[in-house]
Amino acid sequence: MDVRIVGQPLPSPVIGGRTVLVGMQRGRDVVTPRPISGSSMVFDAALDVVVTPEGVDFRGPWVQGKRGDRFLYLSWGTDEGDGFVMERRAKLMLGVLDPEEMVTAESDDVLEGRLSLVDARGEPVCAAVRPPTIRWALRGSADPV
């Protein structure tokens, strides 16, 4: 299943005189961190929905955490010339998803998560992110984004 993360509004593109970068983490690597720009940012990934004797599980290269506590990382940092340096991460928690809805989803459905990328202090959002901070919705491939 494809996953689309839509972030809006965005934090300041420069904090403390440094350009802020954001990307999704795949395994230990932050893939294609990019500067904050525009009015919203979109991140795409994929996950596998697997039915086990214990219930629904989420797997794949973008999925982090142990069974029963799965999540996606949205990672924030900077690049001062030596590569991406992570400074904080947001855990987009998957355990809040309706297992029955995930099992009955079509293979071409898209799981969309919408959230503000700004926390209460005006900084890039971090820590564990659950509803209502993130709004998850399963969208058919023909649904408007």
Which of residues 55 and 131 earns the better pLDDT score?
Answer: 131
Q: Hey, what amino acid is at 52?
A: T
Task: Calculate Rg over the CA atoms of the chain.
Answer: 15
What is the structure's pLDDT at 95?
94
Q: What is the pLDDT of residue 18?
A: 94
Predicted pLDDT of residue 143: 65
pTM, to two decimals = 0.92
pLDDT of 142 above 90: no
Q: What is the mean pLDDT of residues 120-140?
A: 95
Spatial contact of 80 and 86, defined as CB atoms under 8 Å apart: no
